[in-house]
Chains A and B, each alone.
Chain A
Amino acid sequence: MLFGLLKKIEKANIEKLASGKKIPEFKAGDTLKVHTKVKEEKTERIQIFEGVCIARKNNGINSSFTVRKVSASVGIEKVFPLYSPVVDKIELVKTGKVRRAKLYYLRNLQSKKARIVEDLNATKKAKELASEAAKTEKVNVAENTIETAASAE
């Protein structure tokens, strides 16, 4: 009973953190654009980190994913907590065709060999899904505005 409570709290916390932002379905091998909030003294801006997701770790609220890119011939990896409020948005750019869950072998490969074949069908499907979701959201927003306008009258 005691441990059920802790799990419940964690679940509620995840729901609270995940509400208001959409986390797309993605896996290792996908190319992502991760929008993170960066705070500078008084202003806040969004920084985008684009690269290949090489690992996903699923562990409730501790879930994280690793994104790797090569910048000026230096490999850079960033580990993002999936539910962190600092991660503003995750954008799926491409879906990759890979045969591993963790792509740590990319660290030992360079340039052409480090490429990942794109799964064109999957990318297309994901983009359609995303656009549909955006449409429905727009409709919802429109309806809401109409309703508020009506109630205002």
Chain B
Amino acid sequence: MRTGVIAQKLGMTRLFDEVGAHVPVTVLKLDNCRVLAVKTDEKDGYNAVQLGYGERKDKHTNKPQLIAHQKAGTKPAEKVKEFRVSGDSILNVGDVLSVAHFEKGAFVDVQGTSIGKGFAGPMRRWNFRGLEASHGVLKAHRSHGSTGQRQDPGKTFKGKKMAGHWGNETVTVQNLKVIEIDTENNLLFVKGAVPGAKKSFVFIKDSEKKTAKK
């Protein structure tokens, strides 16, 4: 299992393939994605690499973080994330990962934080149809209605779709194809949509389920 990388979402655009068909792509940028620390089986009980993305000012970093970065010999990173790896694909501290980490045509899983939508009612959050406009319905036109049955089972089942907070949660999209790689600008063009707002951080890993045909 290889390490993933930290990237930033730039936004979506379109490309045209050889046939002339249009391909919707999300552009992801890597910025000096380097290894800050390494965890090994003997020492820590598991294998992992800690990656840092981008740069932030010293004065905006707290002291423990600052010292940890100084030990790794780099400037403080904007975003830090640990990726589990298998023993044979451990990296060294100071290694820099670029988009060349991935191949064109390969499949990746992308994890991000979805756009927060606040407290949403059942109609918007779960596409419920609401109650009727007339026939005696009072002040409950956009409510969900009943939430269960009678004395048996006598409770509302867990996971019942109701109003509540929507979005701003970790979402993984699997099996996205890498359409193009721009090594000059360190950009990855991935087919389809990726969770999160523009400028938000995402984590890209090799696809768990799908591998490219050889």
Within 8 A of B (CB), among A70-101: 81, 83-86
> Nearest chain-A residue to B18 (Cβ)?
A85
Is the pair A6, B19 in contact by a Cβ cutoff of 8 Å?
Answer: no
A61 close to chain B: CB less than 8 A: yes
Assembled-state Cα–Cα distance A86/B13 (Å): 18
Contact pick for A10, options B13, B16, B20, B22, CB 8 Å: B13
> Assuming the A-B contacts A3-B10, A9-B27, are A86 and B198 also in contact, with contact meaning beta carbons closer than 8 angstroms in the complex?
no
Within 8 A of A (CB), among B1-49: 8, 10-11, 13-16, 19-20, 22, 27, 29
Within 8 A of B (CB), among A8-36: 9-10, 13, 17
Is the pair A5, B16 in contact by a Cβ cutoff of 8 Å?
Answer: no
Is the pair B187, A9 in contact by a Cβ cutoff of 8 Å?
Answer: yes
Within 8 A of A (CB), among B169-214: 182, 185, 187, 198-199
Is the pair B11, A3 in contact by a Cβ cutoff of 8 Å?
Answer: yes
A140 close to chain B: CB less than 8 A: no
> Assuming the A-B contacts A2-B199, A39-B19, A86-B20, are A61 and B29 also in contact, with contact meaning beta carbons closer than 8 angstroms in the complex?
no
Assembled-state Cα–Cα distance A39/B15 (Å): 19
On chain B, the residues within 8 Å of A84 by CB distance are 16, 20, 22
Chain B contributes a number of interface residues (CB within 8 A of A) equal to 17
Contact pick for A61, options B14, B19, B198, B199, CB 8 Å: B14
On chain B, the residues within 8 Å of A5 by CB distance are 10, 29, 185, 187
On chain A, the residues within 8 Å of B13 by CB distance are 6, 9-10, 13, 61
Assembled-state Cα–Cα distance A84/B22 (Å): 8
Interface contacts (Cβ under 8 Å), in number, total 38
On chain A, the residues within 8 Å of B198 by CB distance are 2-3
Query: Measured between C-beta atoms, what is the minimum distance from A128 to chain B in Å?
Result: 32
Assembled-state Cα–Cα distance A57/B147 (Å): 47
> Nearest chain-B residue to A88 (Cβ)?
B20
Chain A contributes a number of interface residues (CB within 8 A of B) equal to 17
> Assuming the A-B contacts A81-B22, A84-B22, are A6 and B16 also in contact, with contact meaning beta carbons closer than 8 angstroms in the complex?
no
Assembled-state Cα–Cα distance A17/B22 (Å): 12
Is the pair B20, A85 in contact by a Cβ cutoff of 8 Å?
Answer: yes
Contact pick for B14, options A3, A62, A85, A86, CB 8 Å: A62
Query: Measured between C-beta atoms, what is the minimum distance from B60 to chain A in Å?
Result: 18
A37 close to chain B: CB less than 8 A: yes
Is the pair A2, B10 in contact by a Cβ cutoff of 8 Å?
Answer: yes
Contact flags (1/0) for B56-84 with A, using CB distance below 8 Å? 00000000000000000000000000000
Query: Measured between C-beta atoms, what is the minimum distance from B147 to chain A in Å?
Result: 44
On chain B, the residues within 8 Å of A61 by CB distance are 13-14
Assembled-state Cα–Cα distance A39/B199 (Å): 40
Contact pick for A13, options B15, B20, B29, B185, CB 8 Å: B15
On chain B, the residues within 8 Å of A2 by CB distance are 8, 10, 29, 198-199
29 A-B residue pairs with Cβ-Cβ distance under 8 Å, sorted by A, are A2-B29, A2-B199, A3-B10, A3-B198, A5-B29, A5-B185, A6-B10, A6-B11, A6-B13, A6-B27, A9-B13, A9-B27, A9-B182, A9-B185, A9-B187, A10-B13, A13-B13, A13-B15, A17-B16, A37-B20, A61-B13, A61-B14, A62-B14, A81-B22, A83-B16, A84-B20, A84-B22, A85-B20, A86-B20
- Could you list 7 further interchain pairs (A-B, Cβ under 8 angstroms) beyond the known A9-B187, A84-B16? A2-B29, A6-B10, A13-B13, A17-B16, A39-B19, A61-B14, A81-B22
